[in-house]
Amino acid sequence: MNRKKKTTKPSLASGSAPRGRTASVARKTKETDIALELNLDGSGKVSVSTGLGFLDHMLTALAHHARLDLTLTCRGDLHIDDHHTAEDVAIALGKAIDQALGDRAGIVRFGYAYAPLDEALARAVVDLSGRPSPSIHLRLRRGKIGEVAAENLTHVLESLAVHLRASVHVDVLRGDNEHHKAEAAFKALALAIRQALARDGSNEIRSTKGVL
């Protein structure tokens, strides 16, 4: 007598794919109009257009080396200066990463990295703690790189940390070329973020408080 072999359906709890970590942000003010699409689990496909070439270059490096898929466009009041565009783009990106992370369960949380660019060397340390605390020291001497004020490159990283709700320490340790120093800093941060965003194989929140 042939008996039909009993089959067991896989459990959704144990076999389901992890929640997609994506976000969309639309931010429109009297100063800027930003549209952003983000996938934290991407492959580094990036399309950024802010009207500021050097800012595009830095954000592209950041997203690519963090392995984020990012599409970002910004129309800003560049007839005034670069400040509003630089700040608002960083706000939107920080909010998007925060949104995509959800309750931050199952992530490594901490990340650190060094990145060189020729003679320049930068270090970044990140804690996706839920508490905004930027400490950014780029040591840029030139007033502008391209069309972006050096002070606004620092402000981009500060604003990103605040709206990502993370502790972010970025230090340029040495370097002579201003472009190299800035790019090394953004790349180091990218690598640290990539570590911190990684899934740790659990669904636990890495905090003794139980919440981030």
Residue 116 belongs to domain with CATH number: 3.30.230.40
pLDDT for residue 2: 52
Q: What are phi and psi of 148, to 5 degrees?
A: -110, 125
Give the count of domains, the chain.
1
167 within domain boundaries: yes
3 within domain boundaries: no
Per-residue pLDDT of the chain (212 residues; tens, 9 = 90+): 555 544 444 333 333 345 689 999 999 999 999 999 999 999 999 999 999 999 999 999 999 999 999 999 999 999 999 999 999 999 999 999 999 999 999 999 999 999 999 999 999 999 999 999 999 999 999 999 999 999 999 999 999 999 999 999 999 999 999 999 999 999 999 999 999 999 999 999 988 888 88
For 155, other C-beta atoms within 10 Å of its C-beta total 17
pLDDT for residue 46: 98
- The answer to whether the beta carbons of residues 162 and 98 sit under 8 Å apart is no
- The answer to whether the beta carbons of residues 75 and 51 sit under 8 Å apart is yes
116 within domain boundaries: yes
2 within domain boundaries: no
pLDDT for residue 167: 98
190 within domain boundaries: yes
202 within domain boundaries: no
Closest listed residue to residue 114, CA positions, set 197, 195, 189: 189
pLDDT for residue 209: 85
Q: In this structure, what DSSP letter does residue 71 have?
A: E
12 within domain boundaries: no
Which domain does 63 fall in, by range? 20-197
Task: Give the C-alpha distances (Å, rounded to integers) separating 129 from 55, 57, 122, 198, 209.
Answer: 26, 28, 22, 14, 11
In terms of DSSP H, where are the helices of 50-118?
53-65, 83-101
pLDDT for residue 19: 65
> What pTM did the predictor assign?
0.90
163 within domain boundaries: yes
